[in-house]
Structure 1
Amino acid sequence: MNDKGRMPYPPQTQPPPYAPPAPQAYPEPAPQPYGFTANPPPTTSTVTVIQVPTGTILGPMSTCVTCPSCHAVVHTRVDHEPSSRTHMFAVLLCIFGLWPCCLFPYCMDSCQNSMHYCPACGSYLGSYKN
């Protein structure tokens, strides 16, 4: 009893200690047009990254580049390979009677293509054709 002689609540009407609120009913979703789903199924996508050279111009000499394979900043290793132009110069020297000089185009780097490789991983980086 309280100080005025009344009971705070009648015994049958006391509130429960805690009662969670009653769940609310949500309205039904509106019908969707044919072929449309409100929650499309999850899709998996594959992302392919293609690295394009940044416009580094390869010349007949070694060049400082970033290797697209190992991502190292290196000076390229240059190998010289004979081309059809090298063979043509050798044949022309033979035709004009300078057959002792026909091997000169094979010894001169300026008459051959320059193939650039990464010295760290050995991948092909590009070529310079004369």
Structure 2
Amino acid sequence: MAHSSSGYPTAPPPGYSEYPPPPAGQGYPNNQPGPQPPPPPGYTPYAPGYAPPPVTTTRTTYTVIAPTRPIYLGHHPATLTCPLCRETVTTRVEHRVGSGAWQLCLFIFLAGCLFTCLLFVGFVLFFVCWIPFVLVECRDTTHTCPNCNKVIGEKRYAVFD
């Protein structure tokens, strides 16, 4: 094939008809249809130094959520089935002063400040702002299982939700 001074060929490449066909029985191995013979011993389908492609598996996890009834707990002991130990118990109740009692106390105190300027009634409100700390309904309530001593639930008092 002749090349020009620029290095590019000047004539087209030879056609397929100009090359002789391969001898019979040679060419690509195993190009006949049907079952193929096993690979030779020590054969690896991957080039040396290259790892085979990673095997990916798909795992599907299903979570079954059973519908449960909400437990409404008040300020007094309740008879129910403990969700932790599965026993029917009457809850043990503990009351403590929470943020709701402090909010109500502050609200009564500020109302007393406002009404003291306007009426004598506000003066009385200064002396009753401690009442939320005494009333059970203004305290937070914790229900505990007497069997397993775990907290079942809480009832929080809130003035402003």
**TM (normalized to structure 1)?**
0.52
Question: 1:65-84 maps to which residues of 2 (within 5 A)?
Answer: 65-84=80-99
Partner Cα separation in structure 1 for residue 73 and residue 97 of structure 2:
17
Partner Cα separation in structure 2 for residue 126 and residue 53 of structure 1:
15
What is the aligned partner in structure 2 of residue 108 from structure 1? 135
Could you tell me whether the CA contact under 8 Å between 2:142 and 2:154 is conserved in 1? yes
Structure 2, unaligned runs of 5 or more: 1-62, 113-122
Cα drift, residue 53 of structure 1: 5.2
Structure 1, unaligned runs of 5 or more: 1-47
Q: Number of matched residues?
A: 85
Cα drift, residue 50 of structure 1: 8.1
1:70-115 deviation per Cα after TM superposition (whole angstroms, max 9, x unaligned): 2221111111222222101112233314333222111111112221
Larger Rg: 1 or 2?
2
Distance 1:52 1:129, change over 3 A: farther
- Aligned with residue 119 of structure 1, among 142, 146, 151: 146
* Identity among equivalent pairs (%): 29
**TM (normalized to structure 2)?**
0.43
Partner Cα separation in structure 2 for residue 123 and residue 51 of structure 1:
22
1:22-43 deviation per Cα after TM superposition (whole angstroms, max 9, x unaligned): xxxxxxxxxxxxxxxxxxxxxx
Could you tell me whether the CA contact under 8 Å between 1:53 and 1:68 is conserved in 2? no
What is the aligned partner in structure 2 of residue 31 from structure 1? none
Cα drift, residue 124 of structure 1: 0.6
Letter in 2 for 1:116: H
Question: 1:1-130 maps to which residues of 2 (within 5 A)?
Answer: 54-95=69-110, 96=112, 97=123, 98-130=125-157
Partner Cα separation in structure 2 for residue 53 and residue 76 of structure 1:
19
Distance 1:56 1:85, change over 3 A: closer
Partner Cα separation in structure 2 for residue 122 and residue 104 of structure 1:
31
Partner Cα separation in structure 2 for residue 103 and residue 126 of structure 1:
27
Distance 1:76 1:51, change over 3 A: farther
